[in-house]
């Protein structure tokens, strides 16, 4: 990691006309509550800071568990490689109203968490969207790490010497970490993943319910006591224009969420991992879906499940980005030099910024088309059909007709 290659590493800034803010919401301190990072158009501000990309060391520990490597060693390595990076958004910056914003709920991949897709989420916010990047938690345990709060016991309170009368809500709570659940030896994978994808879809719908509550001006309790004033979001969202988006396991979550909730008007699935889904749901999904795939991850069985969503009457689109790998969508791809990036399969052959730019522009064009937006994203309509030197219309994978 010589300085020559590391000095230009970093998550690319958003390209849209609006500055981007972000804040964390945790409604209900228990593990069943909704937890997400919200990205939104913000007022330009001198004071605001950009948050750390990885919020704290427990997330590094979770990544180590997910990757099956030693925590102590990996914490040092991760901290060295990734500890100094910031998210391209201003923490708790004041919301800037520009008419009503369409809404996107974003679902992360297996072993990821709410902050790892900031290049995508910030880009959408810079174009006028409000984006909730959900952290999947509870019994799901498909994030590498996440947390909730539980009330301290009497003895814990006594040990802290906090008088009961003066204790604030935060004083009486203790942070509990939930780490990634590894598949047990001999355990069948489908029942676990199928249960998880259903819970994940429910968490996306719950996040949407919480945004609806914030939008209506009803008071909400944010356990995290941030500096962000959520009353400024009253009437800020266009709740007739909502989309679901996700990567990998999050791509399957998009399909499941569309099936469960018609308020999602369309979905964008980035390199979706279709395994967790029940076959019977494909016929029940009525909304348009856009599959944006990497060149190296997909295989015939997975593509043939996407093709089960093909429809004569509902728009189902698929493109493949040349030179990309499965990890070309999360932020990791921008944060390692070439040899480490390729060694860890975080980087493909294509410049990661070109790849994410194509993915984002194609997404914006698709969202404009299916949410009925009045914007200029239709300038990128050709990308939806794979018309670019770095795109393949459909897939690079050969799928035998008999498999479909």
385: tokens are 């059909």
For residues 236 and 177, is the Cβ–Cβ distance under 8 A?
no
Rg (CA), the chain: 21
For residues 316 and 310, is the Cβ–Cβ distance under 8 A?
yes
DSSP letters, 124-170, are: HHHTT-EEEEEPP-GGG--BSEEEEEEEPPHHHHHHHT--GGG--TT
Give the active site residue among 108, 136, 326, 370: 326
* CA–CA distances in Å: residue 376 to residues 127, 244, 356, 372: 10, 21, 19, 12
How far is 348 from 233, CA to CA, in rounded Å? 39
For residues 306 and 91, is the Cβ–Cβ distance under 8 A?
no
- Phi-psi category of residue 218: left, alpha or beta, with phi > 0 → left and psi -120 to 50 → alpha: beta
Q: Is the dihedral of CA 321, 322, 327, 330 positive or negative?
A: negative
For residues 38 and 148, is the Cβ–Cβ distance under 8 A?
no
The DSSP secondary-structure symbol of 284 reads G
Backbone angles phi, psi at 133, to 5 degrees: -95, 105
Is 229 annotated as catalytic? no
Give the active site residue among 34, 144, 236, 248: 248
Is 310 annotated as catalytic? no
Give the active site residue among 92, 271, 331, 388: 271
Is 271 annotated as catalytic? yes
Helix axes 118-126, 352-371, angle to 10 degrees: 50
Backbone angles phi, psi at 281, to 5 degrees: -80, -20
3-state secondary structure of 176: strand
Helix axes 189-216, 249-260, angle to 10 degrees: 60
Known catalytic residues are 248, 271, 326
């Amino acid at each position: 990691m010589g300085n020559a290659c590391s000095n230009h590493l970093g998550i690319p800034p958003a390209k849209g006309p609006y500055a981007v803010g972000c804040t964390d919401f945790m409604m209900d301190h228990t593990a069943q509550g909704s937890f997400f990072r919200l990205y939104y158009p913000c007022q330009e501000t001198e004071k605001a800071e950009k948050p750390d990309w990885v919020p704290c060391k427990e997330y590094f520990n979770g990544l180590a568990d997910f990757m099956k490597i030693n925590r102590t060693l990996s914490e040092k390595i991760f901290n060295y490689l990734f500890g100094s990076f910031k998210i391209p958004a201003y923490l708790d910056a004041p919301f800037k109203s520009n008419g009503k914003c369409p809404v996107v709920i974003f679902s992360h991949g297996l072993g990821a968490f709410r902050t790892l897709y900031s290049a995508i989420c910030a880009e959408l916010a810079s174009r006028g969207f409000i984006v909730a990047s959900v952290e999947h938690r509870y019994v799901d345990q498909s994030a590498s790490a996440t947390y909730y709060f539980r009330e301290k016991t009497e003895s814990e309170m006594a040990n802290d010497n906090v008088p009961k009368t003066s204790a604030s809500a935060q004083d009486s709570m203790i942070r509990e970490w939930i780490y990634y659940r590894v598949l047990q030896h001999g355990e069948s994978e489908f029942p676990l993943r199928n249960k998880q994808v259903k819970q994940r879809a429910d968490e996306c719908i719950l996040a949407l319910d919480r945004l609806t509550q914030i939008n209506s001006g009803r008071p909400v309790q944010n356990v995290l006591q941030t500096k962000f004033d959520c009353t400024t979001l009253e009437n800020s969202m266009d709740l007739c224009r909502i989309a679901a988006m996700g990567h990998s396991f999050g791509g399957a979550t998009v399909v499941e969420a569309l099936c469960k909730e018609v308020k999602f008007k369309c979905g964008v699935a980035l390199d979706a991992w279709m395994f967790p889904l029940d076959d019977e749901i494909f016929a029940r999904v009525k909304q348009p879906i856009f599959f944006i795939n990497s060149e190296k991850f997909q295989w015939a069985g997975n593509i043939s499940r996407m093709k089960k969503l093909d429809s004569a009457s509902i728009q189902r689109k698929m493109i493949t980005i040349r030179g990309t790998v499965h990890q070309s969508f999360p932020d990791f791809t921008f944060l390692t030099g070439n040899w480490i990036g390729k060694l860890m399969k975080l980087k493909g052959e294509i410049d990661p910024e070109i790849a994410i730019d194509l993915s984002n522009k194609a997404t914006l064009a698709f969202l404009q088309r299916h949410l009925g937006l009045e914007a200029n994203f239709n300038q990128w309509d050709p990308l939806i059909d794979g018309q670019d030197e770095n795109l393949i219309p459909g897939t690079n994978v050969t799928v035998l007709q008999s498999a479909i």
